[in-house]
Chains A and B, each alone.
Chain A
């Protein structure tokens, strides 16, 4: 199409080296009647880098940035962990996010939930997710699902998703999510928090790390019922989840597969616990 040629010529004219400034991306959107996501795709496909991602480029190449933009990640839960997951995944340039949460904000969310503020009390969390991502990285598309994750819906909710982030607060639902991801062949990055503490692990199809981690669970809540959640623990654990997700999407680095990162902010210790097969019974 002549339009693509004209668009590429425009980008080449505006590029500063291989960097494309936001103002020029916005101009491309106007001139060529493109959505922000379409303009972003065109820029990345043409081998340019939106200037926004400059500080990624020493660790994430332009090819990898394109790969992130083509990726889809579901964030199941838009509360403590979810707010940071969405923020960081959007800022690093993951092109498609699915934000799943049935809840509205309540006052007690304010101490830690990044999407919450006094102004958003009563608002649906997924709406806040859409708005925040639109504000910080309009190139990223968010599909909001203002509903609880249910196994029966998994196929539909997670269709086309390359990785799932567990940001839930119900253990049963986490295990259901793990089962669904296993069945749908999607890697799952799990994070969970309570007080000063948390766990992070990555579960690939065929692995049962999450079931092992919860093998002693007999119902109900974990220690979070006693310890609550401060502002920093969800930020730390969610950030660890984002690092894992980026590595899953890019096929790089060393993942937390078959091991659990045990995060202790009270003692400032992080220990990787290998999850080997169980002892043979004697």
Chain B
């Protein structure tokens, strides 16, 4: 694994987060990138994200990604 080279990050978007974006896409990110950078690149306001999963485990915006990670982003839904 190349620790300093770009990381391959797969991004999965759910529900409304997909709209105007994509379902699943893989990107190159610089080593040390965080989930916040992924969200920023998607123009995703922090307040809209309810749940972040990295490799199916709960994470936060500050989570540092590793090569081959999958980031899943879910919106906040509160209606009834």
Interfacial residues, chain A to chain B (CB-CB below 8 A)? 77, 79-82, 166-171, 174, 191-199, 212-224, 226-227, 229, 234, 260, 262, 264, 266-267, 271, 273-279, 282
Contacts and interface: CB of A to CB of B under 8 A. Distances in A.
A262 B50 CA distance: 13
Contacts of B78: 169-171, 174, 192, 194, 217, 221-222, 224
Contact of B59 (A169, A193, A267, A279): A279
A271 B53 CA distance: 14
A168 B80 contact: yes
A199 B77 contact: yes
B28 interface: no
B47 interface: yes
A215 B64 contact: no
- Highest count of chain A CB atoms <10 Å: which of B50, B52, B57, B64: B50
Nearest to B66: A282
Contact of A194 (B14, B16, B51, B54): B16
A196 B63 CA distance: 30
Contact of B64 (A216, A224, A282): A282
In terms of DSSP, what is the predominant structure of the interface of chain B?
mixed
A217 B15 contact: no
Contacts of B19: 266
Contacts of B74: 213, 262, 273
Contacts of A166: 80
A198 B14 CA distance: 11
A217 B14 CA distance: 16
B64 A277 contact: no
Contact of A224 (B18, B47, B79): B79
B80 A79 contact: yes
Contacts of B52: 215-216
B44 to A, nearest CB: 11
A170 B50 CA distance: 14
Nearest to B64: A282
A282 to B, nearest CB: 7
